[in-house]
């Protein structure tokens, strides 16, 4: 099964596409973009694709893309915040003054 993560700015979300041709929407993480900050607010993986590690793939790809754009991250979404706790190498994306509020 192939996967691909894409930014869909019209819907304010990163989407993970999966399936034979990586063309089927398997999940997404919604965000709110303001100035130089991106707030992740909700993540969903379609039940048909749960248990395949796609949530982690989506989180990593979205955060890598945000890093490339030079944006600060506000992980309000419990899934993204929890994933970042397990991967402390991404904590630097959260402004230092806000890390304690997100328990990072």
pLDDT at 41: 98
**Which residue reads 């993986």 in tokens?**
45
The per-residue pLDDT for range 93-103, each reduced to its tens digit, is: 999 999 999 99
Please state the pTM of the whole predicted model.
Answer: 0.94
Residue-by-residue DSSP string for 11-58: GTEEEEEEETTT-EEEEEEEEEEETTEEEEEEEEE-GGGTTSSHHHHH
Residue 95: give its domain's CATH number: 3.40.630.30
pLDDT at 2: 86
The per-residue pLDDT for range 36-79, each reduced to its tens digit, is: 999 999 999 999 999 999 999 999 999 999 999 999 999 999 99
Number of domains comprising the chain:
1
The per-residue pLDDT for range 74-83, each reduced to its tens digit, is: 999 999 999 9
Domain, as residue range, for 75 = 2-102
């Amino acid at each position: 099964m192939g996967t691909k993560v894409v930014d869909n700015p019209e819907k304010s979300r990163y989407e993970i596409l999966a399936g034979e041709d990586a063309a089927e929407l398997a999940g997404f993480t919604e965000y709110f973009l303001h100035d130089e900050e991106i707030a992740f607010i909700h993540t969903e993986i379609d039940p048909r694709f749960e248990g395949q590690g796609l949530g982690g793939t989506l989180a990593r790809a979205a955060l890598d893309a945000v890093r490339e754009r030079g944006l600060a991250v506000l992980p309000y979404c419990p899934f993204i915040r929890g994933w970042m706790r397990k991967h402390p190498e991404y904590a630097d994306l959260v402004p230092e003054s806000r890390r304690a509020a997100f328990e990072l």
